[in-house]
Amino acid sequence: MVEPFDPHAYAEMMAKALELPLHEANHDEVARNLALAFRLAPLFLEFPLHDEAEPAPVFNALEART
């Protein structure tokens, strides 16, 4: 069974991996924002799209500046 998402543990792990200075003072607020993001993301993650669906920004090599 998958454990429920723990934003505090996730924040600690990611802070370590990304060398971000997570302290007691900002730990709760970062975790709160992560929890919000993980609550919102399923709204579009669960929406069915084809594998071929193109992301909105498309790089155009022909329009690149010289």
Partner 1 sequence: MTDWTRQHGHLIAQAIRAGETTASAVIEAHLLAIARRNAELGAYTEVSTERARAKAAAVDAARARGEALPPLAGVPFAVKNLYDIAGIRTLAGSKINRDHAPARTDATLITRMEAAGAVLLGALNMGEYAYDFTGRNAHDGHSRNPHDRTRMTGGSSGGSGAAAAGGLAAITLGSDTNGSIRVPASLCGLFGLKPTYGSLSRARTFPFVASLDHLGPLARSVRDLALAYDAMSGPDSDDPVCRKDQPAPVVPQIATGLAGLRIGVADGYFQRMGTPEAFEAVDRLAKHLDAKVPVTLAEAHRARAAAFIITMVEGGALHIDRLRSRAGDFDLEVRDRLFAGAMLPGQFYVQAQKFRRWFQSETLKIFDHVDAFLAPATPSTAPLVDQATFTLDGQELPVRANLGIFTQPISFIGLPVVTVPLLATNGLPIGVQVIAAPGREEVALRIAASLEADGMTHCKIGQD
How far is 38 from 5, CA to CA, in rounded Å?
8
Nearest approach in angstroms of CB 6 to partner 1 is: 13
49 binds partner 1 (CB under 8 A): yes
Q: 35 and 29 in contact (C-beta within 8 Å)?
A: no
63 binds partner 1 (CB under 8 A): yes
How far is 18 from 6, CA to CA, in rounded Å?
18
Residues that bind partner 1 (CB under 8 A): 10-11, 14-15, 18-22, 26, 29-30, 32-34, 36-37, 40-41, 43-45, 47, 49, 53-57, 63-65
